[in-house]
Chain A
Amino acid sequence: MTYSQRLKQKISEGLEDKVSAFVRQMVTRVQGPVIREMIRKFDRDELRSVKEYAIGHLAELVDRSVARLQDNGFIVFRARTAGEAVDYILKLVQGGVVVKSKSNAVKEIGLVDALVAAGATVVETDLGDRICQMGNIPASHPIGPALHVPVQKVAELFAAETGQPVPPVPEEIVKVARETLRQRFFEAGVGISGANAICADTGSVVVMENEGNIRCVTNLPPVHIIVAGIEKIVPTLEDGIKVARAAGLYGMGLDFATYVSVISGPSRTHTVEGRVVYGLQGPGEVHIVLLEEGRWEAVKEGFAESLYCINCGSCLGRCPVYGELGERYGHKYFGGIGVIHAAFGSGLDKALEAGLPLCLGCRKCVAACPVRIDTPGMIQRLREQAVAEKGLGRGRKMLLGQLLNNGSAIQRIAPVAGGLVCDRDGRGGWYPRYALFGLEKGRRLPELSKKSFLSDAPRRSGKGERKVAYFAGCLNNLIFPRVAGATLRVLRNSGVEVIVPPGQKCCGYPSLANGDRDGAVRNAIANLRAFGDAGVEAVVTDCATCYSGLTGYPELLAGDSRWVDSAREFAGKVKELAQYLVETGFQPAAGETQRKVTYHQPCHLAAHGLSHGRDLLQSVPGLQFAPSQLEDNCCGFGGTFNLDFYQLSKTIGAHKIQPIHGSGAAVVVTSCPGCMVQLMDLLGSGGQPQVMHISELLAGGGGQHG
């Protein structure tokens, strides 16, 4: 997959904008725990089924809601493209003051610029948006866009607006803002808003907010224009309320937003003559522009799930890439879901520029989503399209096809060749002298092992009633044979017979993440062949990423009738090392007791709800466990992501350094060799704290099954 210069530029801009990144991360840190506590009782399956139904019956629902909206007196315009939507609205707005509230759809069609060009004065009415508008300041956060603006600056902006001194105190500024914006509401000829949901059965529009500005925008000017994507349509009023509830919970940590307004047409009353007259205290004319742009294409090409998004922004709060880059990751809509949106609204090139290569695959967004949208899965499929169109690139082909391909010539010569182009630090670290394969100069790499693990692994070892097959994975094979060895020892010492099937390959995850589905399928089939007749109760891996890769085989091979059954059987047996040990009642014997130990939770285990590594550590007799904050934050490694976007990768991971040091631990244990590579780089060559795989710690202490 290739990526544009524009994306590289956006990344460096984003990495330089540390203030806005700090604000985003602070909001997540403060709000995250509140939201996580509040959403515990929320039924995600229920909301998902609402959206599944709605998008699954979209054409029918659009027709039905248009009819009902029109019955209610709305003037409905179906805009096939953003351009059509803008043209329609420009015919309605001849200039004058336009008040608007926050809306992604309005932003999507570029309406504000068009209105301004046409001579209108567009006034943002959400306080944060207004501050950014007055100061021409880029937003730092989707819900609190001006959180990074110092209060003195905000006071200055309002002082300039009113010509009066404004004290730099939030309460005082709010008073002034209320008054100045109130005047704008009363003088505006048009109010423009988005919609959180459109209810097909009652022909109603649902909007939600905390400030009350949307209530003013939609009630005070004589004309109200609503812009909404067709994906906002849900079957019933109650569904619309569910969407609003979810957006409040997941987006703001509120069990219900302060104001949820359900609007079913222009302001009206019924006279005794049975007539309906319009335009009492609310607007007499309400237009609703239903935006289709890119939506039908998304449905047609199998990306309907992207339309389940309710724009709550919850995913953004958890996305490590968005945390650093903010609005630079995405296009009109932010983060991974914004990349997908770009692909169907503006094409694959725009998606590449929006950050198609940036998703780490950590799946934190899926966990954070009220609809459980599989954004990483869709991104992966778009990457496949990008590879199909533009090719994989020579370097990437060599890396995925040769270096990670067991027994290849390159794999055999790499340790020697690597040694020639790198300096050693004597503690297992390499420093590349040249930029090769995207490896930047100055970074610390773990030394490639002179001999790969699989080249002389024991085919069969240990004795016991239990019998498992071991899947080594590329990083253990090439860099950490000692981890693989430790894993075998732990299993053997606890009375498990271990076989190491020859012919096993890379799990395929790196290929898939790079959009090389064919490569991933080839590896999957090779592994199914290698493990096919092992006759074991489990396939154990000690790599979190391999766990993700191997358990994904049924999906990967879903279309291949020859392999799908064995893929299912195989995936059912795959166990992560700690998971296998805990599930089989393994009791660790005395282990590390001298030094404090902390844990790093790999994303690829968190995504599957696995936390056995941490549990196991805590059950080691005498072990001083020192929890560190942000334990399950992504380390930023992301496999080839770390090669492609090293600075970004390191910036993401850097958030872990302070908490790890803060825990006072002398050892950081994790369950993923990928995370180990990154942590070793992050924590530097000082060797403190020491980075260790959980199997290394357990192998030192032994233990047995209960």
Chain B
Amino acid sequence: MGKYFAPPGAVAEISARRRQKLARNPGLGKAYLEARRAALRQMDALVEKAMQTLRAKKCEVHLAAGAAEARELILNLVDAPMVVKSRSLALEEIGVVPALRAKGVEVVETALGDFVLQLAGVLPAWHLSEKEILNVLKSGLGVTGDLRRALGGVREHLRRYLAGAAYGLTGANAVVAENGSLVIMEDEGNARAVSNLPHTHIAVVGIEKIVPDQESAMTVCRAAAVYGTGQDLGNYLSIITGPSSTGDIQGKQVFGMHGPRRVIVILLDNGRRRCLESGFEELLYCNNCGACLEVCPVFPARGPAYGHHYPGGRGAVFAAFTGGIAAAREAGLDLCQSCGKCREACPAGINTPELIKRLSRK
């Protein structure tokens, strides 16, 4: 069931929208690349600054050297039978979902696609057709009718979990060092709920996502939206700067008014500094938009078998920094046909075939 990538019709639709948006904003790719480069040039300083500003904003901050450390942090924090989460590659990277489940914690996916897959009990595939979604929802939730109605049923179903969860797990598209802000972009509104309704919000973010200022964060989000889904911007941008608070009773600041009273940010290194130090900086330009996957001749056939946490060739290369060259080969390092189409599609022009060659030579 399902396909690893959208059928040609949907791809054509996204590319048409993307072309239209890029025609209005032709400098976007370049602006994105410059923003990334500028951030990576000062990564250590930005990590330090972000930790300081996040703390000043009353977030709890951890810098995790590896996936296991990040995972353990969360396992030790979560003392509830159920958590809700939104889609995040960083969460996948640290393998926290299976670890929580092994501990007996129910982990509820809240993005439609992920929820449906969870309901169907299948491993991450990429896309289900509308018909397949309806079938899963019918057998899993007992909702019937057209997609719109079925989605109403999903909404009600998930809302119970969102209302009852004590912990919400998310990633982030950017961390803004100057203000200590998390920036989360999405279309459905589930990440807003996950990051607003529970008492504690836990965000896991790769350190390459730290940018100096809000303007750079907006460039990152614009690029992710235009190249990812062909939209000017994702439907919801949440810029979160510290826990929810009010000072409305006699001027006393109290946390946890309507949103979380605790915001825990786990900044994840997990091989990223090694990337930077060993000349693979380009790898960290990735915005996870997926534009490369649309044009990759290998990916649609192989799906999750090509890549490791992060899909496709770029994921295979990154696997070398988290798990060594053997992990990279297992992730399909040798599958790349060096056609170079991914480089053309990438807003930052990441030359994945070249990275793969260099890695193979090492």
A residues neighboring B (CB under 8 Å)? 27, 30, 68, 72, 125-128, 131, 144-147, 149-151, 154, 170-171, 173-175, 177-178, 181-182, 186, 201-204, 210-213, 215-216, 219-220, 237-238, 241, 245, 254-275, 277-284
In whole angstroms, how far apart are the Cα atoms of A322 and B104 in the complex?
Answer: 58
Of A171, A181, A266, A281, which is within 8 A of B192 by CB? A281
B128 contacts A by Cβ under 8 Å: yes
In whole angstroms, how far apart are the Cα atoms of A690 and B238 in the complex?
Answer: 58
Of B3, B129, B214, B245, which is within 8 A of A245 by CB? B214
Interface contact A273-B129, CB-CB below 8 Å: yes
Interface contact A186-B152, CB-CB below 8 Å: no
| Chain A residues whose CB sits within 8 angstroms of the CB of B214 once the complex forms | 241, 245, 256
| Chain B residues whose CB sits within 8 angstroms of the CB of A150 once the complex forms | 250
Interface contact B181-A256, CB-CB below 8 Å: yes
Interface contact B190-A170, CB-CB below 8 Å: no
Interface contact B129-A212, CB-CB below 8 Å: no
Among B211-243, those with CB < 8 Å from A are 214-215, 218, 222, 229, 231-243
Interface contact B127-A272, CB-CB below 8 Å: yes
In whole angstroms, how far apart are the Cα atoms of A438 and B304 in the complex?
Answer: 85
Identify which of A173, A203, A262 gathers the most chain B CB atoms within 10 Å of its CB: A262
| Chain B residues whose CB sits within 8 angstroms of the CB of A146 once the complex forms | 248-249
Among B273-320, those with CB < 8 Å from A are none
- With contacts A215-B259, A272-B7, A281-B189 taken as known, whether A154 is within 8 angstroms of B249 at the C-beta atoms is yes
| Chain A residues whose CB sits within 8 angstroms of the CB of B154 once the complex forms | 280
> How far apart are A33's CB and chain B's nearest CB, in angstroms?
15
Of A204, A220, A261, A272, which is within 8 A of B239 by CB? A261
| Chain A residues whose CB sits within 8 angstroms of the CB of B329 once the complex forms | none
Of A181, A260, A281, which is within 8 A of B162 by CB? A281
Interface contact A219-B189, CB-CB below 8 Å: yes
B110 contacts A by Cβ under 8 Å: yes
In whole angstroms, how far apart are the Cα atoms of A563 and B242 in the complex?
Answer: 58
B residues neighboring A (CB under 8 Å)? 3, 6-7, 9-10, 12-14, 24, 110, 112-113, 127-130, 133, 147-148, 151-152, 154-155, 158-159, 162-163, 176, 178-179, 181, 187-190, 192-193, 196-197, 214-215, 218, 222, 229, 231-252, 254, 256-260
| Chain A residues whose CB sits within 8 angstroms of the CB of B259 once the complex forms | 211-212, 215, 258-259
Interface contact B241-A257, CB-CB below 8 Å: yes
Interface contact B179-A277, CB-CB below 8 Å: no
Interface contact A277-B151, CB-CB below 8 Å: yes
Q: Supply 19 A–B pairs (Cβ within 8 Å), ascending by A.
A: A127-B257, A131-B248, A147-B251, A151-B250, A170-B254, A204-B233, A215-B259, A216-B258, A219-B193, A256-B176, A256-B214, A261-B239, A264-B232, A268-B235, A269-B112, A274-B10, A277-B151, A281-B192, A282-B236
| Chain B residues whose CB sits within 8 angstroms of the CB of A171 once the complex forms | 254
Interface contact A277-B234, CB-CB below 8 Å: no
In whole angstroms, how far apart are the Cα atoms of A148 and B36 in the complex?
Answer: 48
Chain B residue nearest in CB terms to A183: B163
Interface contact B249-A264, CB-CB below 8 Å: no
Interface contact B190-A280, CB-CB below 8 Å: yes
Interface contact A211-B241, CB-CB below 8 Å: no
- With contacts A241-B218, A280-B189 taken as known, whether A272 is within 8 angstroms of B3 at the C-beta atoms is yes
Interface contact B258-A178, CB-CB below 8 Å: yes
Interface contact B231-A127, CB-CB below 8 Å: no
The 4 closest A-B CB pairs, nearest first, are A282-B189, A212-B259, A212-B258, A128-B248
Of A27, A182, A211, which is within 8 A of B245 by CB? A211
In whole angstroms, how far apart are the Cα atoms of A369 and B322 in the complex?
Answer: 51
| Chain B residues whose CB sits within 8 angstroms of the CB of A278 once the complex forms | 148
Chain A residue nearest in CB terms to B21: A202
In whole angstroms, how far apart are the Cα atoms of A85 and B188 in the complex?
Answer: 28
**What's the A-B contact tally at a CB cutoff of 8 Å?**
218
| Chain B residues whose CB sits within 8 angstroms of the CB of A72 once the complex forms | 232, 235
- With contacts A262-B233, A279-B155, A281-B193 taken as known, whether A125 is within 8 angstroms of B258 at the C-beta atoms is yes
- 16 A-B pairs besides A147-B248, A219-B193 with CB distance below 8 A are A72-B232, A147-B250, A151-B250, A211-B258, A211-B259, A212-B244, A213-B257, A261-B236, A262-B239, A268-B188, A272-B3, A277-B147, A279-B148, A280-B189, A281-B193, A282-B189
In whole angstroms, how far apart are the Cα atoms of A64 and B241 in the complex?
Answer: 31
| Chain B residues whose CB sits within 8 angstroms of the CB of A220 once the complex forms | 193
In whole angstroms, how far apart are the Cα atoms of A691 and B23 in the complex?
Answer: 69
Interface contact A281-B248, CB-CB below 8 Å: no
Interface contact A280-B155, CB-CB below 8 Å: yes
| Chain A residues whose CB sits within 8 angstroms of the CB of B234 once the complex forms | 264
Interface contact B110-A178, CB-CB below 8 Å: no
In whole angstroms, how far apart are the Cα atoms of A270 and B11 in the complex?
Answer: 11
Interface contact A215-B254, CB-CB below 8 Å: no
Interface contact B239-A259, CB-CB below 8 Å: yes
Interface contact B248-A259, CB-CB below 8 Å: no
In whole angstroms, how far apart are the Cα atoms of A68 and B21 in the complex?
Answer: 12
> How far apart are B127's CB and chain A's nearest CB, in angstroms?
4
- With contacts A127-B248, A174-B246 taken as known, whether A215 is within 8 angstroms of B238 at the C-beta atoms is yes
Of B13, B151, B163, B231, which is within 8 A of A279 by CB? B151
> How far apart are B106's CB and chain A's nearest CB, in angstroms?
18
Interface contact A265-B232, CB-CB below 8 Å: no
Interface contact B192-A215, CB-CB below 8 Å: yes
Interface contact A270-B258, CB-CB below 8 Å: no
In whole angstroms, how far apart are the Cα atoms of A281 and B86 in the complex?
Answer: 11
Interface contact A281-B158, CB-CB below 8 Å: yes
Chain B residue nearest in CB terms to A174: B254
| Chain B residues whose CB sits within 8 angstroms of the CB of A181 once the complex forms | 258
Chain A residue nearest in CB terms to B192: A219
In whole angstroms, how far apart are the Cα atoms of A126 and B151 in the complex?
Answer: 30
| Chain B residues whose CB sits within 8 angstroms of the CB of A170 once the complex forms | 249-250, 252, 254
> How far apart are B148's CB and chain A's nearest CB, in angstroms?
6
Of B129, B192, B233, B247, which is within 8 A of A282 by CB? B192
> How far apart are A392's CB and chain B's nearest CB, in angstroms?
45
| Chain A residues whose CB sits within 8 angstroms of the CB of B179 once the complex forms | 255-256
| Chain A residues whose CB sits within 8 angstroms of the CB of B244 once the complex forms | 210-212, 258-259
